[in-house]
Chains A and B, each alone.
Chain A
Amino acid sequence: MTIALSTQGLCRSFGAVKGADNITVEFTAGTVVALIGTNGAGKTTFLNLVTGYLKPDSGSVLLGERNITGMEPRDITRLGVARSFQIPQLFDQLTVDENLEVAEIIARHASTASQTKELARVRALALERFGLVPQRDQLAKTLPGGARKLLDIAMAVVSHPSVLVLDEPTSGVSAEEKESVVETVIELARGLNAMTLFVEHDMEVVAQYADRVLAFFEGRIIADGTAAEVLDAPEVRRLIVGTALGADGHA
């Protein structure tokens, strides 16, 4: 099995608070991994360390066999790690189509001719799968919350990444749309053979879509395994999901 991404002894503190406490983990290519944990557990810190937004105090991050520790976000993105944000980061004065065009233009810059065609295909696919076609000429600032979230994810997907990092992809999305959004994103990511790393608070979504789950607490990984294993672990039930939840994510 190919390792897409790995970290070795990753540490990062914010004063006395440990955001990442000696995290060593490997992610297999093509898998879907959910990060769970309470607020402040270190999930977003982990994503920020992997994508270059934060520099670690110690430890390393490897993309395949390449050490990407301390690299700038743009360089990490160029190597194939794309991300979406908890609060969608869009170009508000541009249309939906132009937002995706910007993403494609930048990705195209470092691509061969055949990859360029593939980028255009993925862009069209993302637009269609995320149901953004009717809003393609609308300014991003006029989109409702759910559509903003989808556009943010679509922009990350357009670069055809090998690692897709999604920070709370369903926050701000209505309860009815939640599952279809995750299903669409994961289906698209699997189609691109991208390893997907996503932060999620909805345990039903986690149980249904994640191949593997990592539970975070105080900057450490306290459980690692399949959804059934992790959601049923006594420490996870006590500290994160509550005792009333079953291993399938249902109460």
Chain B
Amino acid sequence: MPQRMLAGLSVLVAILAAAPWWMPPWMLFIASGALAKGMAALGLMLLLRGGLVSFGHALYFGIGAYAAGLLVLSGITEFLVLAVLGTLATLVLALILGAFVSRYRGIFFGLLSMALSMVFYGLLIKLQSLGSSDGFNLGGIHLLSIPMQGTAGQVPTYLMTLVLSVLAAIGIDQFLRSRYGLLTKALRDNELRVEYLGQSVRQLVLLNYIIAAGLAGLAGVLSAVAVGHIGPEMAYWTTSGEFVFMVILGGLGHVAAAFVGAGVLSAVQAVAYAVAPNSWQFIVGASLLACIVFLPEGLWSLLKRFGRRA
């Protein structure tokens, strides 16, 4: 990574780490959600780098959140346990479902992923014990003895989300620089050749799928803790669409782009909702359209351009 880019990202992380001292609480709440969703978008970006787009990535976001919710209902409120078990639940499910969906490519992969997420959504809607369409609240979550919810828990939750997001970004960056990163790029270009060089394409797709699911699961746990409430809409196709939107907005140029996309989309959503509560979707849609037309490689390409000029 160029030194200048590394320095720029370090400054950005430092500014975000200092956010509790300069951001109002409502903005900090939005930032926590944006970072968590950025983590899910990061996983989706990994899939896209391998030439696959999932329209059902919210399945794992929802699984992570509901796994944490079920643990809280059973009396476990330690954040670290929720994060580990919530992520583990998504990894196990991704291993099972991934073995099936990794056979498919293109639109079939995308729509099959969406169908699976909608099956889970349908199940949640029917389950009265999990609050049906209303979902349920999560309370009393703590990290060791530090509260993670309520007014006192807002800053610890934000900082924890930031730390995990940075770690996830570094981890995926290292992954993309490894042999698997190069193979993922090769996979996008020519699967036949990958097979004829001796590498199983399905294994590679499955690996990326599981990693992407794990990130979405952890993001689901973080989102559930930050909001204090979970509901079936977390697994709905519009949430999956939001993740795709974030990746397109940010671009595929760098791991940080997923978080840039998530941050900008969350900000646009918040502003649009405040300005036009009844037609905020129009503003969000128009901004995506503008991005696709003027910045087909996403906002990251803009940042890179500015970086080169500076």
Contacts and interface: CB of A to CB of B under 8 A. Distances in A.
Contacts of A110: 198
B182 A73 contact: no
A185 B186 CA distance: 24
Contacts of A103: 197
Nearest to B187: A91
Interface in A90-121: 90-94, 98, 101-103, 105-107, 109-110
B6 to A, nearest CB: 23
Contacts of A72: 195, 200
Given A90-B190, A91-B186, A78 B198 contact: yes
A13 interface: no
A118 to B, nearest CB: 16
Contacts of B186: 91, 94, 102
A103 B179 CA distance: 11
Given A74-B200, A102-B183, A91 B189 contact: yes
Interface residues of B, number: 17
B286 interface: no
Interface string B163-193: 0000000000000000100110110111011
B189 A74 contact: no
A105 B195 contact: no
A87 to B, nearest CB: 10
Interface residues of A, number: 26
A77 B198 contact: yes
Interface string A134-158: 0000000000000000000001000
Contacts of B200: 72, 74
A94 B185 contact: yes
Contacts of B199: 74, 106, 109
A51 B189 contact: no
Interface of B: 179, 182-183, 185-186, 188-190, 192-200
